[in-house]
Amino acid sequence: MKTFRNIMLCVLILVSTFIILACTVYNYKIGPVSDSEEEIEVVIESGASTSQIAQLLEDKGLIRDKDFFLIYAKLFEVNNIKASTYILKPNMGVKKIVEVLQEGNSYNPDQITIQFIEGLNIRQVAEMIADKTTNSYDSIIAKTEDKEYLKTLIDKYWFLDESILEDGIYYGLEGYLFPSTYYFNNEEVGIDDIFTKMLDQMDKVLTPYKDELTSSGKTVHEILTMASMIEKEGAANTKENPDVRKNVASVFYNRISRNMSLGSDVTTRYALKIDNPKEKLNSTQYQYKSPYNTRLTDGSMNGKLPIGPICGVSKDSIEAAIHPTNTDYIYFVANIATKETFFFNNSQDFEKKKQELSSVNQGL
């Protein structure tokens, strides 16, 4: 009898373990693929089977496993998915995706898509908008320079302040238009509507940091200015080494605390409105008088950030600007070929590595 009870207890433990494991696997398989908010277009054709839809979602990277999608569909009797074009995200999970597909939407054949990537400046953003819409390049640029328009935005968004109106700022919204993929009804979309969508997205990105920013002693303008330099200087190879951006931030903050100039070439290029990163700069250009140019050696930019952001920034660069690593680095140099970034706390080692990479980087 005792042996029988032991056997039953073992069986019960095994069955319980199996059920717990099965539930864990099931929940994992139908959960979000990642926390990414990337917007992915999915076209569900009329007459598509649940199996075909599951395969499409798996191919798009929106679900982990088509078989578990089918299990979910069977368990919850999902049989009324509507044919249409949808915008879905990897962070939704099977339950949310199914809800969207069951609700359906109205497909708009005139819809346009504009994908703004990190690191583009306002001029480049304006070119993309002009290419995709009926707005002219000049009218887009003029909008970012219109101080009356900018004042209305300052009243609307908590993260905008008088800094964007300062004399010397090229474009008031530089660095504030969050780079992402956006969808608009048609090419007739107005500049205001485009900027509103991008500013609304920046609001969503910055709001979780609001209390922290308030208590940090740094303004949003300063954080986005720092983030823009990080974006241009430290974005390379960060998937393999996510600390690069935070190390770059550390270098810049360390130089500010030591009253050194930031010495960043990307700020000189921005000051001169040179968008080609491969165009070599000469000694005269490095001394171009501008509140953006941190390469000035006359002491006027010592311990200072540029007057404002120099490009659109990613969430990773914002995070790095808010939470830099704690180092004693004051120099860095990148290998353009391998996209590696090297950090130093003294000029001797920095100059040695810079010389070593001179042929690879070709003076850039």
Looking at residue 10, its pLDDT comes to 65
**H helix intervals, the chain:** 2-30, 50-59, 66-75, 93-103, 122-132, 137-145, 147-156, 191-206, 210-216, 220-234, 243-257, 265-272, 283-286, 315-322, 347-356, 358-361
Backbone torsion region of residue 105, taken as left when φ is above 0, otherwise alpha when ψ lies between -120 and 50, otherwise beta: beta
Placement of tokens 């504030």 in the chain: 176
Answer CATH for 29-103 from 3.30.413.10, 3.30.1490.480, 3.40.50.920, 2.40.30.10: 3.30.1490.480
Residues counted in the chain? 364
**Of 326 and 101, which is predicted with more confidence?**
326
Instruction: Quote the tokens at residue 163.
Output: 């800094």
Looking at residue 17, its pLDDT comes to 67
Looking at residue 229, its pLDDT comes to 97
Looking at residue 178, its pLDDT comes to 97
**How would residue 362 be classed by pLDDT, with cut points 50, 70 and 90?**
low
Instruction: Quote the tokens at residue 167.
Output: 């004399």
**How would residue 339 be classed by pLDDT, with cut points 50, 70 and 90?**
confident
**How would residue 163 be classed by pLDDT, with cut points 50, 70 and 90?**
very high
**How would residue 24 be classed by pLDDT, with cut points 50, 70 and 90?**
confident
Mean pLDDT of 263-285: 94
Residues of the chain with CATH 3.30.1490.480: 29-103
Distance set, CA 322 to CA 50, 71, 100, 218, 344 (Å):
45, 43, 35, 9, 21
pLDDT of 119 > 90? The answer is: yes
Looking at residue 86, its pLDDT comes to 86
Looking at residue 267, its pLDDT comes to 97
pTM: 0.74
Mean confidence (pLDDT) of the chain? 89
Mean pLDDT of 31-54: 86
CA distance 330 to 340: 17
